[in-house]
Amino acid sequence: MTVVFTLTFGLLAAAGLLTLWRMLRGPRTLDRVLALDVLLVLIVAGVAVGMAASMRGLDVVLLLSVALLSFIGSVSAVRLVERWEEHR
């Protein structure tokens, strides 16, 4: 299982780097907001894999609350950007 966890962390890290590139290079604000949401999902997935690797399941509530706050923040940011672009 160590190989699986290492491979998973490597793939999540590669996806994180590509997401950071999109966040910095994104042509529109909505692209950057979406990239931030994807990055937060990747972080939550990385923490979940770390919990599985260490055989600890105590932080599941914390993981779910971070995922929920990430979703609510992304929806709020998209609404704000849409309103801001309408007024331009």
Q: Please write the tens of the pLDDT for every residue from 19-76.
A: 999 999 988 888 888 898 899 999 999 999 999 898 887 778 888 888 898 889 888 8
Residues 6 or more apart whose Cβ sits within 8 Å of residue 73: none
How many structural domains does the chain have? 1
The DSSP result for 8-53, as a single string, is HHHHHHHHHHHHHHHHHH-SSHHHHHHHHHHHHHHHHHHHHHHHHH
DSSP, res 85 = H
In one-letter notation, the amino acid at residue 65 is S
Q: Which domain holds residue 53?
A: 2-86
pTM score, two decimals?
A: 0.82
